[in-house]
Amino acid sequence: MSRIKLKLDRITKVFGDLIAVNDLCVDIFDNEFVCILGPSGCGKTTTLNMLSGLEVPTSGNIILDDKVINKLPPQKRDIGLIFQDYALFENMNVYENLAFSMRVKRKPRDEVDSKVREVAQAVEVSHILKKNYGSLNPGEMQRVAIGRTMISEPSVFLLDEPLDNLDADMRVTMRAELKRLQKDLGKTMIYVTHDQEEAMSLADRIVVMEQGLLQQMDTPQDIYNHPVNRFVAGFIGTPPMNFITCKLESISGKLMLSSLKGSFSMDISEVGRHLYEGTIQKEMILGIRPENVSVNIDDLNGEKRGARILRVEPLGPEMVLEVALEGDPDNVIRALVDPGRIPSVGERIEIIFHQDKIHMIDPLSEEVLI
């Protein structure tokens, strides 16, 4: 296992009556790409600001390479920050922007030139070194901003939603470039974003935050397949996970899960065998992702299929069906399915839950039990 590069030891940040970050404990390994993910106001940018030295923790320690750096100014932390708005010098061309920090330190001209050209090649801006700021497109600006931080050779890179100003195609391109750069450089990168697609595609591990609290830290696949609570389960995934309030009962030796209005009932004895006895005969929340809901659209026998189509959203290679359970119109479920025949709004269908993919959530603690 890699050594711990950066440790957040019970970090808390308070602004007046607001606890922006609450007792955050995170270990980040050497050469790891970590994404801090969460909705607006969850504390992710405040965490980044404390790491960079722009904010001082109210309590707790930030430990880099086994040294507490809480009181060190930003320029002495060996941490490079890449801003969302690029923060380039508008009166300089690309070469001058890249060279600026080395010139301030009065490095020899030959050394500056060699380093600028090396970094320019790494971020693929060698062909635009003489280009002025005003003629750069957003993708080029982002590459120059990354290169300018690389020049100072920090041991940790912090990136604050750096792709927000790019169009969709450029975001995809730059995500791939960032991942390549991180692996080529062999550096630790911490990337703040509210975009789960970015986090899932970039990160070795994801830190999910909400209301200043760490919800879960794990690999993208484990967070997707094994969320620890309802917030993580609902925040990760597009379309989002379905949640249905149900009743769990033991009937004739079988563990039965039924919707409160009787619109469906299923035997979950196999998948629910690990549930403790105290969960029986109580309300539970069934969680299931749209891609784990199958549908039978063709009603050859004219029989009732258990659900009614509310909305159809074609997405090219797949489609989202929004359906209401028969007899329980408040329970709306999304299914992500192959296009095939597109059903009509109001049409009755059968829906099938893949039992090996369901999650059982305690409605009080909101913890995922299975």
pLDDT in tens, 293-328: 998 877 544 444 588 899 999 988 999 999 998 877
**Once rounded to an integer, what is the mean pLDDT over residues 251-278?**
80
Secondary structure letter of residue 93 according to DSSP = B
Q: Residue 53 is part of a domain; what is its CATH number? A: 3.40.50.300
- 205/277 same-domain check: no
- 215/252 same-domain check: no
- 91/172 same-domain check: yes
pLDDT band, very low/low/confident/very high, at 340 (cuts 50, 70, 90): confident
Inter-CA distances, 161 with 54, 201, 202, 223, 311, Å? 16, 14, 13, 21, 33
- 221/254 same-domain check: no
pLDDT band, very low/low/confident/very high, at 85 (cuts 50, 70, 90): confident
What pLDDT is recorded for position 59? 97
- 325/190 same-domain check: no
**Once rounded to an integer, what is the mean pLDDT over residues 340-350?**
86
- 215/177 same-domain check: yes
Report yes or no: 150 and 122 within 8 Å, Cβ to Cβ: yes
**Inside any domain, residue 337:** yes
Amino acid of residue 39: P
**Inside any domain, residue 152:** yes
- 156/23 same-domain check: yes
**Inside any domain, residue 370:** no
- 332/222 same-domain check: no
Which of 235, 251, 277 finishes a domain?
235
The span from the CA of 367 to the CA of 363, in Å, is 8
- 11/100 same-domain check: yes
What pLDDT is recorded for position 303? 41
- 173/253 same-domain check: no
Please indicate whether residue 165 or residue 307 has the higher confidence score (pLDDT). 307
**Once rounded to an integer, what is the mean pLDDT over residues 158-171?**
86
**Once rounded to an integer, what is the mean pLDDT over residues 65-92?**
90
Residue 9 pLDDT greater than 90, yes or no: yes
**Once rounded to an integer, what is the mean pLDDT over residues 231-252?**
92
**Inside any domain, residue 137:** yes
Instruction: Residue 83: count other Cβ atoms within 10 Å of its Cβ.
Output: 14
What pLDDT is recorded for position 1? 53
What pLDDT is recorded for position 250? 83
| Range in 26-40, 213-227, 309-323 with the lowest mean pLDDT | 309-323
**Inside any domain, residue 366:** no
What pLDDT is recorded for position 112? 94
pLDDT in tens, 125-134: 999 999 998 8
| Range in 16-20, 162-166, 235-239 with the lowest mean pLDDT | 162-166
The span from the CA of 120 to the CA of 140, in Å, is 11
- 202/278 same-domain check: no
pLDDT in tens, 198-219: 999 999 999 999 999 999 999 9
Q: Residue 272 is part of a domain; what is its CATH number? A: 2.40.50.140
The span from the CA of 361 to the CA of 245, in Å, is 9
Which of 235, 264, 296 finishes a domain?
235
**Once rounded to an integer, what is the mean pLDDT over residues 325-340?**
86
Report yes or no: 328 and 368 within 8 Å, Cβ to Cβ: no
Amino acid of residue 316: G
What pLDDT is recorded for position 300? 44
Return the HEC string of 41-76. Answer: CCCHHHHHHHHHCCCCCCEEEEEECCEECCCCCHHH
The span from the CA of 171 to the CA of 354, in Å, is 34
The rounded mean pLDDT for the chain is 90
- Domain region containing 187: 4-235
Report yes or no: 367 and 280 within 8 Å, Cβ to Cβ: no
Which of 218, 235, 252 finishes a domain?
235
What pLDDT is recorded for position 271? 79
Residue 46 pLDDT greater than 50, yes or no: yes
Count of structural domains, the chain: 2
